A and B are shown apart, each in its own frame.
Chain A
């Protein structure tokens, strides 16, 4: 009896889901890239607290590192170094990071919270000394005020993590290209539009796609032609395809930061991921297109 009842229930739900997902996605399904929009009902106080924490050196064990050290918010959300200090990989941008389905170059994490806890505790990154940090913030008037307003419990480990997480989750910064996708056809140049067509036609969009133009699928570098790096020491691993949002301002490129210029990566991608040699105009056009993915910061 119950079994039958529940079974019909399941089936109904499934059809309903199909129905909705068809409606909601059909309008934008033709494009490989889904526009992003800012969260309209953001809690500004909490967001600002998160930003303060993001920039605060007292969150690190040696008290001279913050998230900001490697994720510069005024320079594309990365550090501009080949590989970050103490680390063997290039720092990716933190902008729009919540739109990634996998985090880090190897994509080992698929949720921000455990990833954040890992960074904070990682001796090579933040190496946080919780007792010190909580004590320091609890003696800081600016923080005690903000924490009291936002959380009843004041300064605590859970609340610090919660505020940072809120900041990461809501650091959504749309670009000119999003405006274009949402109907403003003059938002990007003619050359960028051509570049976008090339991007789709040559198959870049098979890997770099979705809301974050990447971050949702795993690939090696060198699927058509084996890639061993400019000086033969590129180690091929299965990587999360990186997001191309803000790519124009996050040089150097690749997970080991081995390529300096964006045009260089475009050529490299075409050659090793597609088995294709692009003309200079095509490279320029794609380059123009990628530049439109840079976040607009007020």
Chain B
């Protein structure tokens, strides 16, 4: 009985454990995958380096004789590719991270269009410079002996150097400018005007290019990349910690589950073993699970010894079914067997805790009523059995009625050996049978 309760508790425990492990696991699988975050971080690293290369290319646009727009554009395209990959990988990372990622394409597009503005300005400055250089060079050669032109040239060259200084953001002193050529020929004046025009354009373009360049290096964009980085590291650390706790939770739960299951298994094994042993020893009746005649013969000397020792008495109730053969004949053996099983449960439920029941023949049972003072106590038990077991049996729609004939023998009053005690009870039972059935008889000398 106790063992059964334990098994029940263990089963309930293990099922709650399984449920809790499952729910924890669900929480776990709903959590952001740390692999995702890691990959996003790596992609961000790539994006940042692509951005750095882009900035580098733009910075070094002036370091070649001809600015290489291909390289800047290539770097921009590479940045764009990495950005698309980044957006793709990071799309599963939820708030508040996605607020930043939506900002990224906008700022990047801005950066690209500012890059194009800047490149346009650079191209114009470059072609102006090239043009001026070529023109001044040829003019210089033509007017080797013309001091007026040379004076103008010196001024133009100075202006040019000023433009270049401006391009490099160097501040220069401001002298009076010389831009009228009084003694020049018409052709020369035309050239001088062209030069002056270019110088003016150059100055304007350089200012524009500075603006475009400043706009290109947008602090908001580079800050965003850093913010993304910080956010990602934070999310990573947080989720990683969560993962760890959940992992350890699952681990402990599983451990407990395993222990419970092992105990459960052991208990089942033990239960199986005892049943098996009983069967092997041939002391239980396979149909009803009650003890059999062999066990009774085995037990009786022990009962006698213990009752003698404590100065107590015990009774044997010999029970025989009335009309069982009729049931078998009318309804068949299956129903008969079922009836026996039902009867055994009723018997088991009707006797006291310390009493034990044996099936000693087809429709014969013996109940040992222990620890009593007189036959009347045994008779009470027997009469209780009569009332409980005489109620109708519902068996597959058939209503059967069987009654009991019971004979009682008392130890040590009626007999002191097992065989005699059993014989007395048997005789008393026959008395009941022959005197109207469905009754209890306590053994008496005159019965034999």
Interface pair B130/A203, CB less than 8 Å apart: yes
Q: Which residue of A lies closest to B197 (CB)?
A: A275
Contacts of A3 in B (CB 8 A): 229-230, 233
Interface pair A201/B68, CB less than 8 Å apart: no
Contacts of A202 in B (CB 8 A): 127, 130-131, 134
The distance in angstroms between the C-alpha atoms of A3 and B48, with both chains bound, is: 14
On chain B, the number of residues with a Cβ less than 8 Å from chain A's Cβ atoms is 44
Contacts of A223 in B (CB 8 A): 124, 201
Q: Report B30-89 residues with CB < 8 Å from chain A CB.
A: 41, 45-46, 48-49, 52-53, 56-57, 64-71, 73-74, 77
Whether, in the assembled complex, A130 has its beta carbon less than 8 Å from a beta carbon of chain B, the answer is no
Interface pair A218/B66, CB less than 8 Å apart: no
Interface pair A29/B68, CB less than 8 Å apart: yes
Show 14 A/B contacts (Cβ-Cβ < 8 Å), sorted by A.
Answer: A2-B41, A2-B236, A3-B229, A6-B41, A10-B45, A10-B52, A18-B56, A200-B130, A203-B126, A209-B66, A217-B69, A219-B120, A275-B197, A276-B135
The distance in angstroms between the C-alpha atoms of A274 and B124, with both chains bound, is: 9
Contacts of B67 in A (CB 8 A): 206, 209
Q: Which residue of A lies closest to B49 (CB)?
A: A13
Q: Which residue of B lies closest to A107 (CB)?
A: B116
Whether, in the assembled complex, A186 has its beta carbon less than 8 Å from a beta carbon of chain B, the answer is no
- B-binding segment of A30-38, A121-129, A152-160: A30-38
Contacts of B74 in A (CB 8 A): 101
Sorted nearest first, the 3 A-B pairs with minimum C-beta distance are: A203-B127, A32-B66, A210-B70
Q: Report A134-165 residues with CB < 8 Å from chain B CB.
A: none
Give B contacts to A, CB under 8 Å: 41, 45-46, 48-49, 52-53, 56-57, 64-71, 73-74, 77, 116, 119-120, 122-124, 126-131, 133-135, 194, 197-198, 201, 229-230, 233, 236-237
* A13-B45, A207-B123, A274-B131 given; 6 more Cβ-contact pairs under 8 Å: A21-B56, A29-B65, A34-B68, A206-B127, A207-B127, A218-B120
Interface pair A218/B68, CB less than 8 Å apart: no
Instruction: Name the one of A14, A29, A205 contacting B53, with C-beta atoms under 8 angstroms.
Output: A14
Interface pair B194/A275, CB less than 8 Å apart: yes
Whether, in the assembled complex, A221 has its beta carbon less than 8 Å from a beta carbon of chain B, the answer is no
Q: Which residue of A lies closest to B113 (CB)?
A: A218
Q: A101-B70, A206-B126 are in contact. Are A29 and B41 (CB under 8 A)?
A: no
Contacts of A75 in B (CB 8 A): none
User: Chain A, 16-46, contact with B by CB distance < 8 Å: what is the 0/1 string?
Assistant: 0110010001000111101000000000000
Contacts of A241 in B (CB 8 A): 123
Whether, in the assembled complex, A179 has its beta carbon less than 8 Å from a beta carbon of chain B, the answer is no
Contacts of A9 in B (CB 8 A): 45
CB distance from B292 to the nearest CB of A (A): 75
Interface pair A6/B45, CB less than 8 Å apart: yes
Interface pair A10/B131, CB less than 8 Å apart: no
Interface pair B45/A217, CB less than 8 Å apart: no
Q: How large is the interface on A (under 10, 10 to 19, 20 to 34, 35 or more residues)?
A: 35 or more
Instruction: Name the one of A14, A31, A110, A276 contacting B131, with C-beta atoms under 8 angstroms.
Output: A276
User: Chain A, 216-256, contact with B by CB distance < 8 Å: what is the 0/1 string?
Assistant: 11110001100000000000001001000000000000000
CB distance from A106 to the nearest CB of B (A): 12
Q: A10-B45, A17-B49, A18-B56 are in contact. Are A216 and B69 (CB under 8 A)?
A: yes
Q: Which residue of A lies closest to B56 (CB)?
A: A18
Whether, in the assembled complex, A204 has its beta carbon less than 8 Å from a beta carbon of chain B, the answer is yes
CB distance from B46 to the nearest CB of A (A): 8
Contacts of A274 in B (CB 8 A): 127, 131
The distance in angstroms between the C-alpha atoms of A2 and B237, with both chains bound, is: 9
Interface pair A217/B123, CB less than 8 Å apart: yes
Whether, in the assembled complex, A211 has its beta carbon less than 8 Å from a beta carbon of chain B, the answer is yes
CB distance from A202 to the nearest CB of B (A): 6
User: Chain A, 183-207, contact with B by CB distance < 8 Å: what is the 0/1 string?
Assistant: 0000000000000000011111111
The distance in angstroms between the C-alpha atoms of A203 and B230, with both chains bound, is: 46
Interface pair B69/A209, CB less than 8 Å apart: yes
The distance in angstroms between the C-alpha atoms of A216 and B48, with both chains bound, is: 23
The distance in angstroms between the C-alpha atoms of A149 and B387, with both chains bound, is: 93
Whether, in the assembled complex, A273 has its beta carbon less than 8 Å from a beta carbon of chain B, the answer is yes
Instruction: Name the one of B68, B124, B130, B198 contacting A25, with C-beta atoms under 8 angstroms.
Output: B68
Instruction: Name the one of B64, B120, B129 contacting A217, with C-beta atoms under 8 angstroms.
Output: B120
Interface pair A17/B53, CB less than 8 Å apart: yes
Contacts of A276 in B (CB 8 A): 131, 135, 194
CB distance from B119 to the nearest CB of A (A): 5
Contacts of A204 in B (CB 8 A): 127
CB distance from A203 to the nearest CB of B (A): 3
Contacts of B126 in A (CB 8 A): 203, 206
User: Chain A, 249-290, contact with B by CB distance < 8 Å: what is the 0/1 string?
Assistant: 000000000000000000000000111100000000000000
CB distance from B311 to the nearest CB of A (A): 83
Interface pair B66/A205, CB less than 8 Å apart: yes
CB distance from B136 to the nearest CB of A (A): 12
The distance in angstroms between the C-alpha atoms of A206 and B56, with both chains bound, is: 20
